[in-house]
Amino acid sequence: MIYSDATASSHDEAELMEIELELGAHNYKPIDVVLSKGEGVWVWDSDGKRYLDCLSAYSAVNQGHCHPKIREALIEQSGKLTLTSRAFRNDQLALFYQEICALTNTSKVLPINSGAEAVESAIKAVRKWGYEVKGVPDGQAEIIVCRNNFHGRTLSIVSFSTDPTARRNFGPFVPGFKVIPFGDAEALDAAITPNTVGFLVEPIQGEAGVIIPPDGYLRAVREICSRHNVMLILDEIQTGLGRTGKLLAEEHEGIEADLTLVGKALSGGFYPISAVLSNSEVLGVLRPGEHGSTFGGNPLACAVARTAVRVLIEEGMIENAERMGAYFVERLKDIRNNLIREVRGRGLMVAVEFEPEAGGARAYCEALKNEGVLCKDTHVNTIRFAPPLVINRDDIDWAFERIAPILARSSPTT
């Protein structure tokens, strides 16, 4: 193998994109900008142009890019101890458990690395609970999910996806899942059988285009799951940790899930870490050797996560998300364009959906990129705006000097 001693700065953007296209798998279609620096809500490309980040790495950098306190924790811990595996104990794991449990009213935690791994772990644990506690016949456990869900891209997860792109030519698929409409509590009640062990749902469907269920939906599914002895699993990997203006989106309806999945912003974008937050009844079924990960619960991840969560609370980011999200939506609703079907959002999880006649949202995103605002299209006709939770009113006003003229156009190229 030939190694290059050239730095990124010795290549222009076109060269770097060409190398990506030649050598990388084409499983993403990014907006054509090559980023090299980030601070707070801002990122810079390799030519030094500044952009307002309105995606936050799909909500992984809620705390803003390169938050100094999280970076300090990363550097300090990396000089002490990074990895032991769970074959041995480390001095950060217990403290992470203690702090995340106190904050979220949780009694048991399973630390893991990625959002998809958290979902897979929850599926395994709930199935095992179904067999050993609920008494479901072996191999018959069912988990109910929602249409247009997004919980990751592992084989088990795409087995219950309704997105043709996620499923095409990846079968055979994992059985044991039943799909119902999102936001329909009666459909959940009707779908439950004696073999149903869990209901896995996003409080707000993010990848589907920030789809917010009807008021009272989460309260209704909480009651239904309790009545049928079914575990309610809330995937808060995107909605959690302040994104919607609450620590967890479940708080908007005053409920508690049986299992809550968190990730992404759990490290503030510095390091992969996720967790299943649950109780002894469910996570207590896991015994030594039945589930694990070399990196899960490592001291570096735990030290970073402890600080990432602390700054969310201490620096008022969650309350800021609620205030700035309301202002962001208000500004978007002032834009006049008959091709805008709907503006919707909760906290700083915001979407603009266009009519199909607009020709898709990606061209609008590309036009916004040229003006210094980075956002991302989803499900063809929708733009998602999800800036870091440290955004302020002046930042939003700066963005709207660029957003408003573009979104008001009948075509982004005119």
- Contact between 91 and 76 (Cβ < 8 Å): no
Sheet of 349-354, strand order: 340-346, 349-354, 382-385, 376-378
Q: Among this protein's residues, is 37 annotated catalytic? A: no
DSSP for residue 358: G
Cβ pair 324, 348 in contact under 8 A: yes
53 is catalytic: no
Residue 277 bridge partners (DSSP): 109, 260
Set 53, 184, 235, 258: catalytic member: 235
The distance from CA 112 to its chain's CA centroid, rounded to whole angstroms, is 15
Task: Please state, in angstroms and rounded to a whole number, the distance separating the CA atoms of residues 98 and 109.
Answer: 9
Whole-number Å distance between alpha carbons of 301 and 82? 8
Q: Which residue has the tokens 């999800």?
A: 386
* Tokens standing for residue 290: 């039945």
Quote the crossing angle between the two packed helices 317-333 and 299-314, to the nearest 10°: 60
Catalytic residue from among 108, 128, 246, 264: 264
> Is-contact 346 244, C-beta < 8 A?
yes
Torsion sign over Cα 361, 366, 369, 374: positive
Q: In the 8-state DSSP scheme, what is residue 246?
A: S
- Catalytic residue, chosen from 96, 108, 128, 150, is 150
Establish whether 235 is a catalytic residue.
yes
* 8-state DSSP, 65: B
Omega prior to 388 cis, within 30 of 0: no
- Positions marked active-site: 150, 235, 264
